[in-house]
């Protein structure tokens, strides 16, 4: 069940578009982020091959399933 819109009225949203050079510089911060809100998602570049080992969300899912 979704929370009512009023539950989000005091929250702030932030979007950042960066590049792989920036992502690698803050990799340790991305990997250690555990809060559910705001969500932190890394979008792979279409110009570089996808590396699942750098995907923090996929790694968390694997840990949840004991892989």
Tell me, what's the pLDDT at 6?
A: 66
Range of the domain at 24: 11-64
Round to whole Å and give the CA distance between 42 and 40. Answer: 7
- Classify residue 1: in a domain, yes or no: no
Q: Does the residue 5 lie in any domain?
A: no
Span 9-63, pLDDT tens digits: 666 776 666 777 787 888 888 888 887 777 777 777 788 788 888 787 788 888 8
Count of structural domains, the chain? 1
**Cβ atoms of 30 and 23 closer than 8 Å:** yes
Contact 64, 52 (CB under 8 A): no
42 closest CA partner among 18, 65, 60, 64: 18
Give the rounded percent of residues in the chain with a pLDDT score beyond 70: 75
Assess if residue 18 is contained within a domain: yes
In the chain, what is the straight-line distance between the N-terminal and C-terminal CA atoms, in Å? 29
Residue 3 lies in a domain: no
């Amino acid at each position: 069940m979704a929370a009512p819109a009023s539950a989000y009225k005091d929250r702030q949203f932030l979007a950042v578009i960066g590049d792989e050079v920036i992502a690698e510089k803050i990799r340790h911060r991305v990997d250690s982020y555990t809060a559910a809100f705001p969500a932190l998602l890394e979008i792979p570049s279409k110009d570089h091959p996808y590396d699942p080992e750098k995907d923090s969300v996929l790694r968390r899912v694997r840990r949840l399933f004991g892989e």
